[in-house]
Amino acid sequence: MSTQRPGWAPEDIDLDRPNAARVYDYLLGGSANFAKDREFADHLTKIAPHAASIARVNRAFLRRAVTYCLNNGIRQFLDIGSGIPTAGNVHEIAHRVDPSVRVVYVDIEPVAVTHTERMLAGNDNAAVVGGDLLEPETLLTSSAARRLLNFDEPIAVLTVAVLHFIDDDKGPHAAVARYVDAMAPGSYLVLSHIAAEDTDEQAQARTLYRKDAIPIVARTREQLTAFFTGTELVEPGIVWTPLWHPEQFDNLEEPERSKGYAGVGRKP
């Protein structure tokens, strides 16, 4: 191994390969990452100097979207691709409004699951599942989902900054459609995603990710609309991430620098 394994790190993770969740953690200023993740993030920042800002903008969208769902009566959340816990997790946002809100986190990365388990110790209204977005039946019938979520009532399903790591041929549209099908009327689908841009910066970033076996698929607004099939887009639709329900003091200059789109759909 090229780096020493910390005591909290699961034995089955490869410390010699970067991981998207841990790179994101590093960009957000977290500590649940390893030398290869930091090396990758540093290379990414040389290609895309605003990478850390993009991560923060996306995190801010998560907070606004969760708050929007809470304000519209949602009291249960399924956060798929939740990543490594950092400030402003879904249950923290929700429980400031209503401590009885139920949250199930899902991530495929063992470090994310381990840290979330530690964070949620003693919390009866939140849990984490180690699983894959592409396996909806497994996630929807997991013990955590059965204990905390009632799909006969409105729910918010979050797919924030995760779908761009899944190629079309893996079946992400069918998987998201299954989650939408499982949701009761009045539920919400929350999505953010890297925007397709014909720029050298994006081409270089995509090459960097693929070199380390991390697929990355940028999509257009039109392509993202397909994920919302079965829902009605909440105004203002699919927009640059900072423009989705901005708050009073948000800096909205050059929103395209976010490099991503965001949208929320409501199931009628």
E strand spans, 3-98? 76-80
Euclidean distance between CA atoms 51 and 90, whole angstroms: 22
CB 133 within 8 A of CB 81: yes
| Residue 232 phi, psi (nearest 5) | -115, 125
The answer for residues whose C-beta is within 8 angstroms of residue 256's C-beta and 6 or more apart is 195, 240
Nearest Cα residue to 249 out of 51, 64, 70, 58: 64
pLDDT classification of 1: cutoffs 50, 70, 90: very low
Euclidean distance between CA atoms 48 and 81, whole angstroms: 23
Token pair 């592409």: residue: 134
Model confidence over 189-201: pLDDT tens digits? Answer: 999 999 998 788 8
Task: Tally the C-alpha atoms within 13 A of residue 21's C-alpha that lie toward its C-beta.
Answer: 22
Q: What is the mean pLDDT of the chain?
A: 91
Euclidean distance between CA atoms 20 and 93, whole angstroms: 24
Whole-number Cα distances in Å, 265 to 58, 68, 75, 102, 115 = 17, 12, 17, 20, 30
pLDDT classification of 228: cutoffs 50, 70, 90: very high
Model confidence over 153-169: pLDDT tens digits? Answer: 999 999 999 999 999 99
Euclidean distance between CA atoms 30 and 22, whole angstroms: 9
DSSP label of 183: S
Is residue 183's pLDDT more than 50? Answer: yes
| Residue 134 phi, psi (nearest 5) | -75, 0
DSSP label of 256: G
Q: Which two tokens stand for residue 204?
A: 């270089």
Is residue 208's pLDDT more than 90? Answer: no
Q: Which two tokens stand for residue 250?
A: 């948000």
Euclidean distance between CA atoms 141 and 50, whole angstroms: 39
Model confidence over 15-71: pLDDT tens digits? Answer: 778 888 888 888 888 888 888 889 989 989 998 888 898 899 999 999 999 999 999
Q: What is the CATH number of domain 20-236+257-266?
A: 3.40.50.150
Q: List the chain domain ranges.
A: 20-236+257-266
